[in-house]
Every structure is written in C-alpha cells, then in structure tokens.
Amino acid sequence: MRTISDLIEEFLKGIIAESHDGVVEVQRSTLAEQFQCVPSQINYVISTRFTIDDGFLIESKRGGGGYIRIQKLLIDSAERLHEILSEIIGDSTSHNTAIMVLDRLLAEEFISEREYKVIRAIIARETFNLGTKEADIIRANIMKISLGIVFSEG
C-alpha cells in the first residue's frame, strides 16, 4: 500500500516531468492542504526523495510568499555531467553517495551494467582497510578517475 509520502513524491515528479525545463515551484501550505497533511510532511518528502544524489536541486524560501523550487538536474552534455559529478563527489564521498551516483548513471544509461559492477567493486567498503575519512577521500578520487575514463571513451 502506498503511503502519503509516496503519493506526494509521485505528484511532484509528475509535474516536474510535465514542465518544459525540469523546474517547478510549489508552496508547502498548498501541497499540505491538497494532500491533507502537515507542511512538515512535505518537507520530509522533499528532503528525502529529492536530493542532489537523486538528481535534484532544491531551493527554499520561507515566509508568507515562500516556495520550494525543485529542479531536475538535466544532463545534456558531457561538460554538464562532469560539473554535476564534481559537485556531488567532491574531494571526499561516502560509500552510500558513491553508490547513489552509480545507480543514477546506470539508470540514465551513462554507464553500462559492466562498468557499474566494476566501479562498484572497486569502491566497496571492503576494498579499503583505512579509517572512514581516508577511505572517503580515496573513493572520491577513484570515482572521478574511473568515470573520467568511462566518459572520455564514450
């Protein structure tokens, strides 16, 4: 059975898909009324299901005329993909974030199933016998180098 969070997510993704530029602005209170829930439920859905790792940028303005702007990160060039990956991966990245990036790249067919499996194996937690901080730095470097190789061959 679908939850209210699932319904809100589905609704928002639907209006984003219908927009010509992948951007929508919504008001918490209006959505909360529409779904008969509290505004914090809207905040929860947006903060957990519309993350940068999922391919979205969120901008929020609070107050009387406040809104939430949700932007689907459209990847229309190798340069744009590189910018997005650099922002998400940064100088250090957790195992979970790295997997979310790989999952998205696979889903959007930027990498093959084979490339996905190879990179995932290389960045696995078990690969590193280091502290978390050091492993996250090395993982980020491996992600940037391996994805750079994948995209330079494409």
Report the DSSP beta bridge partners of residue 69.
Answer: 25, 59
Range of the domain at 19: 4-72
Please report, in angstroms and rounded to a whole number, the separation of the first and last CA atoms in the chain. Answer: 41
Confidence (pLDDT) at 68: 86
Confidence (pLDDT) at 9: 92
Count how many domains the chain has: 2
Are residues 148 and 106 part of one domain?
A: yes
CATH number where 121 lies: 1.10.1200
Among candidate residues 52, 72, 92, the one where a domain is terminated: 72
How much of the chain is in helix, strand and coil states, percent to nearest 5? 65, 10, 25
The Cβ-side half-sphere exposure at 126, using a 13 Å CA radius, reads: 2
Among candidate residues 72, 96, 131, the one where a domain is terminated: 72
Are residues 82 and 64 part of one domain?
A: no
The pair of structure tokens assigned to 69 is 């702007």
CATH number where 24 lies: 3.30.56.130
Are residues 66 and 119 part of one domain?
A: no
Confidence (pLDDT) at 111: 85
Note down pLDDT in tens along the chain; length 154 residues: 788 999 999 999 999 989 887 888 888 888 999 999 988 898 899 888 888 767 787 888 776 666 888 888 776 666 767 777 777 788 888 888 888 888 878 877 888 999 999 999 998 888 877 888 888 989 898 888 888 776 665 4
What phi and psi values does residue 112 have, to the nearest 5 degrees?
-85, 170
Confidence (pLDDT) at 23: 84
Confidence (pLDDT) at 116: 92
